[in-house]
Structure 1
Amino acid sequence: MTAPTALGIDEARTRLNELTVIDVRTPGEFAGGHLPGALNVPLDRIRRALPDIRHAAARGDVLVVCASGARSENACRILAENGVATATLSGGTAAWAAGGNELRRPEGTPRATWSMERQVRFTAGTVVLLGLLLGLLVHPAFQILSAAIAGGLVFSALTDTCGMAAMLARLPHNRTRAADLGATLEVLRSR
């Protein structure tokens, strides 16, 4: 299967009012800042939202976004396999914000959260460092922690998935508010 169509930041900004924007990040990441008008359908719930996304796509173009573009490409592939044509935002919300564009936050969001990519880097680095230190100071077998993380990172790169991100997404700070999928699906049905 070919890569999904990618919209550049300038084209997306110009067409923002005519696009249905679906953000596939976790609710915590979405709360930290998203494109104006974006609807939150986390990647792990994209199949459940399929009929409503199909409905929105029949009425106009759908743009799928995430932090950097990897998860949105996965979502676009899932949607394409089910007959829904979508595009992804080149560089994701990180590129959108770096281009000086506005990110919105839901009302009542107490603070910005770290991006999932940043959380994964922090967690992986901490476990590798811990494995090395414990391996030197306590017992060499602790270096297995570092090797396991290295193996997981290689697997993640080869499969374009991330088990650590999936686990971190379930932590309370990443679930600052549950994605109200029902309300999001209602909005998709009305488009």
Structure 2
Amino acid sequence: MTRDLVSAPQAARWLTEGSAVLVDVRSPDEFRAQHIALAVSVPLDRLRAALPSLAGRRVVFQCQRGTRGASACAIAEARQGETYNLDGGIEAWKAAGLPVVVAAADGREPLPLMRQVQIVVGALVLLLVMAGFLIAPAFFALAGLIGFMLALAGVTGWCGMALLLQRMPWNRAAG
């Protein structure tokens, strides 16, 4: 068993030869937004269940920049076969001029859904706090309610804002 970094060009050669399988350990939303054409989506939190199907194969784990890929390598350490982390993730893949599949029909990459949630919630809290200072203190209570809802989303895994944003036109899959 090996656990090393592999460059994007080397990983591309292995994929072209059919001598490796590329496992994208990012979230399903990130994968839908953009991914390497031959990658298989197995989110990091579901990797343990998928490891038996990868036994005996050369596996390259890939994420956005390499951190989750390293975690995937650590999880897969006991399995049989070579295990590699794509050095720099999909960002290095693109920097090397290698192609990716992008969901948007116009070729633009939408922001990952959780970043959209962070932007919207952060802007709402900022506006409500400003309104609390400038208009009425009651707006502070609304900002607190949004903070509570964000904490509840973190605890339960259910995020109404993410469900709403997912339905926005810029987040709909092309086709």
* TM, length-normalised to structure 2: 0.63
Deviation at 1:123, TM superposition (A): 5.2
Q: Quick one: which of 125, 131, 136 aligns to 2:133?
A: 136
1:15 corresponding residue in structure 2: 14
Task: Give yes or no for the alignment of 1:86 onto 2:87.
Answer: no
Q: 1:49 to 1:120 in 2, by over 3 A?
A: same
Cα distance in 2 for residues equivalent to 1:124 and 1:76: 34
Mapping of residues 14-33 of structure 1, within 5 Å? 14-17=13-16, 18-33=19-34
- SS of 1:22's partner is strand
Find the structure with the greater CA-based Rg: 2
Q: 2:59 touches 2:84 (CA, 8 Å); kept in 1?
A: yes
- The structure where strand makes up a greater share of residues is 2
Cα distance in 1 for residues equivalent to 2:68 and 2:130: 33
- The letter of the residue matching 1:98 is A
Cα distance in 1 for residues equivalent to 2:70 and 2:124: 29
Q: 1:70 to 1:117 in 2, by over 3 A?
A: farther
- The letter of the residue matching 1:47 is R
- SS of 2:60's partner is strand
Cα distance in 2 for residues equivalent to 1:101 and 1:132: 45
Cα distance in 2 for residues equivalent to 1:120 and 1:98: 27
1:34 corresponding residue in structure 2: 35
Q: 2:36 touches 2:100 (CA, 8 Å); kept in 1?
A: yes
RMSD: 3.7
Instruction: Give the gaps of 5 or more residues in structure 2.
Output: none
- Between the aligned residues of both structures, percent identity stands at 30
- SS of 2:74's partner is helix
Residue deviations 1:81-105 (CA, integer Å, cap 9, x gap): x435521112211221132210025
Cα distance in 2 for residues equivalent to 1:116 and 1:23: 17
* TM, length-normalised to structure 1: 0.59
Cα distance in 1 for residues equivalent to 2:97 and 2:114: 21
Task: Give yes or no for the alignment of 1:5 onto 2:4.
Answer: yes
1:156 corresponding residue in structure 2: none
Deviation at 1:117, TM superposition (A): 7.3
Cα distance in 2 for residues equivalent to 1:117 and 1:97: 22
1:99 corresponding residue in structure 2: 96
Q: 1:118 to 1:97 in 2, by over 3 A?
A: farther
Cα distance in 1 for residues equivalent to 2:172 and 2:70: 25
1:182 corresponding residue in structure 2: none
- The letter of the residue matching 1:78 is I
Deviation at 1:121, TM superposition (A): 5.8
